[in-house]
Amino acid sequence: MSSTTVTETEIEVPPLPPPIPQAPRPPKKMKPARKQVKPGDVVKTETVQTGKEYNIWYNKWAGGDREDSYSNKTKSQTRCSIKNDTGLTRANTTGMKYICLFFARGCCPYGWECEYRHSLPTSEDDFPDSSKDCFARDKFADYRDDMGGVGSFNRQNRTLYVGRIKETGTGPETEEVVARHFREWGTIEKIRVLQYRSVAFVTYVSEYNAQFAKEAMACQSLDNDEILNVRWATEDPNPVSKVAEKRRLEEMGQEAIKARMDPRVVDAMRAVRALEEGVELEPEVEEPYEEEDEQEPEAKRRRIEGGPASMSPPPVQQEEAPPPNPTGLLSADALESLKYFAEIQKRRAANWNGNGHVQRAPPPPPKAGLGLADYGSDDED
């Protein structure tokens, strides 16, 4: 038997279904945030411990029933309402970008006096530290054994495991119920329901929305008064999903690099790569460069060409303009060299025919005779 290996380029990734938009939308004109609860309204009862040894790493008793803040069967007393609870706090004036954890759980007693934001994370949010979640809690190198807690900074996890769902209909009906409750916390990319197993996997477009939804839906109910068990999902073993996630991360990295680079450098690098691979670039409308960029040293051009023009006398020196200050990752000389390569590509594209070959000038006709007329003889005086 011969085993065949399939590469990533051979795996065909099916198109994703249209994302489920976030609804209801938060109010456009926010008012001062209200106090979700009054001090003392939420009564926290301690779970009866059945273990005999206390594990200081997981901060719980070991050896007894597996009961913690993520798997307990006590329904949460509060729930966040994005439409009613979103508002302005002191964080909007102090510049704090992190979100209030108790606001996500629906039990913040401070309201507009809170030092953290009372709003959903958006795609425009730029949190200062990637090793923290949207609630300013430190991530860890690996996930907990029960896949609870804050999570890991080694993997971007956007998928939630939702357990203990009471199914009263078919798979599509259960998926509609899950989407209706979880879309409140952000745009959903896809939902997968394991019918007859009371399990669903919800994947958000943004990781920060998944972090918010995990805290907001912990120990909550859907339509049948169940108590959900919400945790982080393990990595999908499907190779198609792995390839799709890898490509998505590569595209995000390319977009981030392009956003920070000078667009002229990006165009020049594309032209150089097309010149090396012999691929014709599609004509693009180029923006006019500044006068400083149009001035190119003739001596450097002749040195690169290496032709007979390099032996010609140097032109009259004019007053040298001050070199432009480099604003990107490359110096001014590197930018000039890349632009020169781009001009060579344009000349090559102009001589390109329809068969994919470069039209070259025909060779000069051979001279008549043996070509010995220019040689002299030793007998001539």
Residues 113 and 173 in one domain: no
DSSP state, residue 118: B
Our count of domains for the chain comes to 3
Does 364 reside within a domain?
no
Report CA-CA distances (Å) from 291 to 54, 70, 288, 321, 343: 73, 63, 9, 10, 17
C-alpha–C-alpha distance, residues 74 and 44, integer Å: 10
Q: Which helix (H) or strand (E) holds 230?
A: strand 229-232
Residues 206 and 163 in one domain: yes
C-alpha–C-alpha distance, residues 153 and 144, integer Å: 13
Residues 237 and 163 in one domain: yes
Residue at which a domain ends, from 119, 148, 174: 119
Report CA-CA distances (Å) from 235 to 118, 229, 275: 31, 18, 41
Q: What residue type is 248 in one-letter code? A: R
Residues 167 and 112 in one domain: no
Residues 262 and 218 in one domain: no
**Lookup: tokens for 211:** 């972090």
Which CATH number do you get for residue 173? Answer: 3.30.70.330
Look at residue 291 in the predicted model and tell me its pLDDT.
Answer: 47
Residues 167 and 230 in one domain: yes
Does 353 reside within a domain?
no
Range of the domain at 62: 28-119
Residues 169 and 195 in one domain: yes
C-alpha–C-alpha distance, residues 215 and 103, integer Å: 10
Number of other residues whose CB lies within 10 A of the CB of residue 219: 20
Radius of gyration of the chain (CA): 33
Question: 204 Cβ partners below 8 Å, 6+ apart?
Answer: 158, 159, 160, 185, 186, 187, 188, 189, 210, 213
Does 358 reside within a domain?
no
Look at residue 22 in the predicted model and tell me its pLDDT.
Answer: 83
Does 141 reside within a domain?
no
C-alpha–C-alpha distance, residues 249 and 361, integer Å: 47
Look at residue 309 in the predicted model and tell me its pLDDT.
Answer: 45
**Lookup: tokens for 145:** 């054994």
Residues 66 and 100 in one domain: yes
Residue at which a domain ends, from 67, 97, 119: 119
Residue at which a domain ends, from 276, 295, 326: 276
Residues 113 and 165 in one domain: no
Residues 35 and 49 in one domain: yes
Look at residue 371 in the predicted model and tell me its pLDDT.
Answer: 52
Residues 115 and 32 in one domain: yes
Does 176 reside within a domain?
yes
**Lookup: tokens for 76:** 């949460």
Widest distance between CA atoms in the chain: 123
Residue by residue, pLDDT tens for the chain (381 residues) are 445 555 666 666 667 778 888 887 888 888 999 999 998 788 776 666 667 788 888 777 776 655 555 556 788 999 999 999 999 999 999 999 999 999 999 999 999 999 999 999 988 888 888 899 999 999 999 998 889 889 999 988 999 999 999 998 888 999 999 999 999 999 999 999 998 899 999 999 999 999 999 999 999 999 999 999 999 999 888 887 778 888 887 887 777 777 777 777 777 878 888 877 777 766 655 555 444 444 455 655 665 555 544 445 555 555 555 555 555 556 677 778 778 878 887 887 776 655 555 556 566 666 555 555 555 555 554
